[in-house]
């Protein structure tokens, strides 16, 4: 008789795993997450003192095109047609008409010595220089000095404000733009005819602009030949030159390094150790902007 087969032990119930905790349904909304995240600093995309750099560079490029198409060809034509003595006489006469504005600002800046020299220069050239056509006073040790309401504002502590590059007119600042408006209003309001006539004002501005374009032609070419960024180089020249002008008026001789320049055409974008040849753009590279000098817009030769 066969032995009964052993019975398998009763299986133990498998332990049941504890249910995992339910995932939280309190997921923060995107708006909440954005609010909780720390604010990232914004990248400043302009140079110090030039908050309108984007606009200014557009105007710089506009003046380049204007100079290539109109201003420089007209200036070279003016140089060819009008003899040098005639151009010099017109330049002297227009400078002589500006002497009363220089004198007024000398007085406002409390510079009696400068005011006396300016008045003497105006008197000598008006009488002995045939209304300023000949700069007799310059040979007597009384050269022409530039002065205006922009300097007067700076004399009394008004800061330059943002750098501006104006269409046709070129580099300026908020302070100098306001001062220029003041300068332009003196003779029309104090004298009247012909200074308040539109045709006179446009005519003298054109003659002055073309003459200045001729005078600064070589400097403009040098700027483009030696600058990686002509816009930045010109801005540096303008800002430091104006800082030196105001320092001279206020009598501050302890100017910081930023107020002076070793090289008037130094390119801020170039390496500090770069030579002009190394800093110059590659041959055939066309600059994207123009250089205006004191009055008209200007561009590369």
User: Rounded to an integer, what distance in angstroms lies between the CA atom of residue 267 and that of residue 292?
Assistant: 16
- Phi, psi angles (nearest 5°) of residue 271: -65, 145
**Mean of pLDDT values over 16-37:** 51
Delimit the domains of the chain by residue range.
53-81+149-279
Q: Is the pLDDT of residue 272 over 80?
A: no
pLDDT of 115-132, one tens digit each? 999 999 999 999 999 999
pLDDT of 81-113, one tens digit each? 999 999 999 999 999 999 999 999 999 999 999
151 vs 45, residue with greater confidence:
151
| Mean per-residue pLDDT of the chain | 80
Residues 6 or more apart in contact with residue 253 via CB below 8 angstroms: 247
**Mean of pLDDT values over 127-150:** 95
Q: Is the pLDDT of residue 13 over 70?
A: no
Structure tokens at 261: 């320049």
pLDDT of 44-57, one tens digit each? 577 888 999 999 99
Threshold 0.95, pTM exceeds: no
If phi > 0 it is left, if psi is from -120 to 50 it is alpha, else beta; for residue 156 that is alpha
The pLDDT > 90 percentage for the chain reads 64
């Amino acid at each position: 008789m066969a032995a009964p087969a052993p019975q398998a032990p009763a299986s133990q119930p498998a332990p049941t795993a504890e249910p995992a905790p339910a995932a939280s349904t309190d997921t923060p909304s995107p708006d909440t997450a954005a609010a909780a995240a720390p604010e990232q600093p914004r990248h400043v995309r302009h140079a110090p003192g030039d908050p309108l750099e984007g606009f200014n560079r557009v105007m710089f490029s506009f003046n380049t095109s204007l100079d290539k198409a109109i201003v420089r060809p007209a200036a070279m034509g003016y140089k060819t047609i009008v003899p040098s003595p005639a151009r010099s006489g017109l330049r002297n006469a227009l400078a002589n008409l500006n002497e009363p504005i220089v004198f007024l600002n000398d007085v406002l800046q409390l510079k009696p010595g400068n005011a006396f020299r300016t008045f003497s220069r105006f008197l000598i050239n008006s009488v002995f220089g045939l209304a300023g056509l000949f700069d007799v006073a310059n040979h007597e040790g009384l050269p022409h000095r530039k002065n205006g309401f922009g300097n007067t504002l700076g004399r009394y502590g008004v800061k330059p404000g943002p750098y501006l590059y104006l269409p046709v007119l070129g580099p300026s600042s908020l302070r100098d733009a306001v001062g220029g408006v003041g300068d332009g209003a003196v003779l029309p309001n104090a004298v009247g005819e012909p200074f308040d006539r539109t045709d006179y004002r446009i005519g003298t501005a054109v003659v002055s602009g073309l003459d200045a374009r001729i005078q600064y032609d070589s400097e403009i070419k040098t700027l483009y030949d030696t600058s990686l960024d002509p816009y930045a180089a010109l801005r540096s020249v303008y800002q430091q030159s104006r800082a030196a002008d105001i320092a001279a008026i206020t009598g501050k001789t302890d100017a910081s390094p930023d107020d002076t320049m070793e090289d008037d055409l130094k390119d801020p974008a170039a390496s500090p150790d770069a030579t002009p040849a190394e800093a110059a753009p590659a041959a055939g590279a066309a600059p994207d902007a123009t250089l205006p000098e004191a009055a008209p817009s200007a561009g590369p030769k």
